[in-house]
């Protein structure tokens, strides 16, 4: 067996499925989906076909033409990270119907009880399939090297509704006897109070971009191509509509920079606070945390990032997670170009400054294993969630920015457009990008040390800290804090959350507790509505031994499940000055665990285990 991807059982000698038709029955009482996946291959295949699964119960595999069973097998044990391969034994067959049920412990699904939702009346479920979690929803070739189209038929209890990263194929309708096939009995499928919704994705995508949510969802149009959806009720929907009102301007800016928007719709779903990321770039339906809604449109920068993925990540995809920078480095570059057009150059520079600081902090985080500071690391046997970091984002951005500075922005813009047009709807690796770069920018390898950038550890010497008046002023004020100086009110009068975030990020990691208290007394940072500011300040407070902020830390960790906030706060607690902080971290997690997405649960468990 020759694996196509270190994080998938997909065999490089096997055909890749080109389409999957899903039938899914949602059992909210059991936190389970009963379903079938009809996988279609490009041509008839004889021999084994390996599919990724994790915690899936496979009931049967059927030839959809003859109705005869297809032999299948599993190994005797599961890998805790990668799951186990489902091996089908095909005989000149081009399709296979796999009948399965998900586990309540599926790592891609978070089931919320009515008490955990804004409605307090209806349950909610949503997916997060990146990086390797689609396999816990349906059997698939769960590697970004494999792209396929899909259709989906969802059976839900009324009055719940569903949204998907796909086009709606039909209006909500009553179930029809027989249409579920072996996925579900007619007695269940057609039981009273059930409804069916249908979707189709006709553009080939990798499995990690498969996404849906179902619950009590309200929606509102904010542009000709954008509708905002939210689970959190009308107040949250209103706030989201205001925050993201500029979505169409961003789409047009992206099209001017990178070429046509290929996905039709650009809709947004604001999920419950447990969503583990800032945003997820699911095509046609971006998922967002409510923490990006800040009331000043600055949260739209997260939307700009997810929009940029429409070209770099979704349209062109990294072949495996070892080439993740092709997704995230390119998208961070594209995001800042969009922000520069829509919000101005200073906003983009501040964004770059925050990223520069974050990149330097990742060098400290991985000081004992610098392999993970490479743009193209060796991830054999490594859970990608465990080493998720800003390196592919910010070092990748720096690499592309370095090329732009070398050849000039106009020439680089031409290069990027040609790159996107050449490789759209393909999954590529770093070597493919570098060859394309050298062909289209002759001599670039003599001007930039490409090998050092891609294979070297740390930050290359020709990376660059951003330069601007406001950026320099903020960093200067942060340096003055070391001498005990707190910024005057007139110096920060026009600051938004982004300026405060950059300021706090540039303060020393640990200062006198009295200084922290004085800063907060003047500017109430611990109470900020902007979680970027709030969490950065609370991390500083914990690291400085300010126990009076433990209550606010606990409250924050119980309100949100975004890993960007969980990682630093739990890490600060376990690195605290005594056992009190470690005990607090364990107690908070024990009480908050059920409100976190399974991916976030795993990350926090890892942090606590390393400091047990």
Annotated binding site: 128-130, 276-281, 305, 309, 328, 562-564
- Residue pointed to by tokens 């072996």: 182
Alpha carbon 248 to chain centroid, angstroms: 22
CB 126 within 8 A of CB 212: yes
Q: b vs e for 326-335, b when ≥16 Cβ sit within 10 Å of the residue's Cβ?
A: bbbbbbbbbb
Alpha helices in 320-468 (DSSP H): 325-343, 345-365, 396-407, 409-423, 430-440, 444-447, 450-455
φ/ψ of residue 81, rounded to 5: -95, -50
| Nearest of 4, 24, 23, 21 to residue 12 by alpha carbon | 4
Answer yes or no: are the C-beta atoms of 131 and 602 closer than 8 Å: no
Q: Cβ distance 547 to 585 under 8 Å? A: no
d(CA 538, CA 17): 48
Separation between Cα atoms, residue 17 and residue 19, nearest integer Å: 6
**Closest of 195, 201, 199, 149 to residue 169, by C-alpha:** 199
End-to-end CA distance of the chain: 39
Residue 570 is a catalytic residue: no
Q: Examine residue 28 and say whether the peptide bond preceding it is cis (omega within 30 degrees of 0).
A: no
How many of the other CB atoms lie within 10 Å of CB of 183?
26
d(CA 408, CA 416): 12
Q: What is the DSSP letter of 559?
A: H
Catalytic residue of the set 25, 393, 549, 565: 393
Answer yes or no: 419 catalytic.
no
Task: Give the integer Cα–Cα distance in Å for 560 and 597.
Answer: 10
| DSSP string covering 474-501 | HHHHHHHHTTTPPPPGGGSTT--HHHHH
Q: Is 114 left (phi over 0), alpha (psi -120 to 50) or beta?
A: alpha
Question: Annotated binding residues for Zn(2+), as ranges?
Answer: 305, 309, 328
DSSP letter (8 states) at residue 8:
-
Q: Which of 197, 198, 231, 306 is an active site residue?
A: 306
**Tokens 């399939």 -> residue:** 129
Residues 6+ apart with CB under 8 A from 16: 10, 41, 42, 141, 145, 146, 147, 148
Q: What is the CA radius of gyration of the chain?
A: 24
| Binding-site residue positions for a peptide | 128-130, 276-281, 562-564
Strand 32-53 vs strand 84-101: parallel, antiparallel, or unpaired?
antiparallel
C-beta of residue 426 within 8 angstroms of C-beta of residue 314: no
Q: Which residues are known to be catalytic?
A: 306, 393
């Amino acid at each position: 067996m020759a694996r196509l991807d270190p994080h998938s059982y997909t065999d490089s000698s096997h055909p890749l499925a080109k389409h999957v038709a899903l039938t899914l029955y949602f059992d909210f009482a059991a936190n389970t989906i009963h379903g079938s996946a009809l996988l279609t291959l490009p041509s008839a295949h004889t021999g084994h076909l390996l599919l990724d699964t994790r915690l899936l119960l496979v009931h049967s595999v059927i030839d959809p033409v003859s109705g005869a069973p297809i032999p299948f097998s599993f190994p005797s044990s599961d890998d805790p990270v990668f799951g186990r391969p489902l091996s089908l034994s095909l005989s000149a067959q081009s399709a296979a119907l796999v009948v399965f049920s998900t586990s309540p412990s599926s790592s891609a699904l978070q089931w919320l009880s009515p008490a955990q939702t804004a409605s307090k009346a209806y349950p909610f479920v949503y997916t997060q399939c990146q990086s390797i979690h689609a396999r816990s929803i349906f059997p698939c070739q769960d590697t970004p090297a494999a792209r396929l189209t899909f259709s989906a038929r969802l059976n839900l209890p009324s009055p719940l509704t569903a949204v998907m990263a796909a086009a709606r194929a039909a209006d909500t309708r009553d179930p029809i006897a027989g249409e579920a096939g072996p996925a579900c009995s007619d007695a269940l499928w057609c039981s009273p109070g059930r409804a069916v919704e249908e979707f189709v994705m006709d553009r080939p995508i990798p499995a990690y971009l498969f996404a849906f949510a179902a619950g009590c969802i309200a929606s509102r149009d904010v542009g000709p191509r954008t509708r905002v959806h939210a689970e959190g009720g009308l107040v949250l929907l209103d706030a989201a509509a205001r925050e993201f009102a500029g979505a169409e301007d961003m789409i047009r800016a992206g099209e001017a920079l990178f070429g046509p928007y290929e996905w039709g719709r650009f809709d947004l779903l604001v999920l419950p606070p447990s969503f583990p990321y800032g945003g997820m770039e699911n095509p046609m339906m971006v998922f967002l945390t409510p923490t990006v809604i800040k009331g000043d449109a600055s949260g739209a920068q997260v939307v700009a990032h997810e929009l940029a993925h429409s070209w770099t990540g979704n349209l062109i995809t990294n072949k495996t997670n070892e080439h993740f920078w092709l997704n995230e480095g390119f998208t961070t570059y594209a995001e800042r170009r969009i922000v520069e057009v829509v919000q101005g150059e200073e906003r983009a520079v501040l964004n770059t400054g925050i990223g520069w600081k974050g990149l330097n902090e990742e060098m400290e985080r991985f000081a004992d294993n610098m392999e993970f500071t490479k743009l193209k690391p060796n991830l054999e046997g490594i859970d990608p969630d465990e080493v998720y970091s800003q390196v592919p984002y910010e070092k990748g951005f720096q690499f592309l920015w370095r090329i732009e500075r070398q050849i000039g922005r106009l020439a680089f813009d031409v290069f990027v457009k040609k790159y996107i047009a050449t490789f759209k709807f393909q999954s590529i690796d770093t070597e493919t990008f570098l060859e394309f770069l050298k062909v289209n920018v002759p001599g670039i390898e003599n001007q930039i040390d490409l090998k050092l950038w891609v294979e070297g550890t740390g930050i290359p010497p020709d990376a660059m800290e951003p330069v601007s008046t406001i950026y320099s002023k903020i960093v200067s004020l942060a340096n003055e804090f070391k001498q005990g100086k707190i910024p005057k009110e007139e110096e920060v009068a026009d600051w938004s959350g982004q300026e405060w975030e950059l300021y706090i990020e540039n303060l020393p990691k640990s200062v006198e507790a009295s200084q922290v208290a004085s800063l907060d007394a003047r500017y109430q940072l611990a109470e900020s509505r902007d979680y970027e500011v709030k969490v950065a300040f609370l991390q500083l407070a914990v690291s400085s031994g300010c126990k009076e902020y433990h209550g606010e830390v606990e409250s924050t960790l119980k309100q949100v499940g975004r890993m960007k906030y969980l990682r630093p706060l739990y890490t600060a607690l376990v690195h605290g000055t005594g056992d009190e902080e470690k005990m607090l971290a364990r107690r908070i997690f024990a009480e908050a665990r059920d409100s976190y997405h399974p991916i976030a649960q795993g990350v926090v468990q890892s942090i606590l285990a390393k400091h047990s």
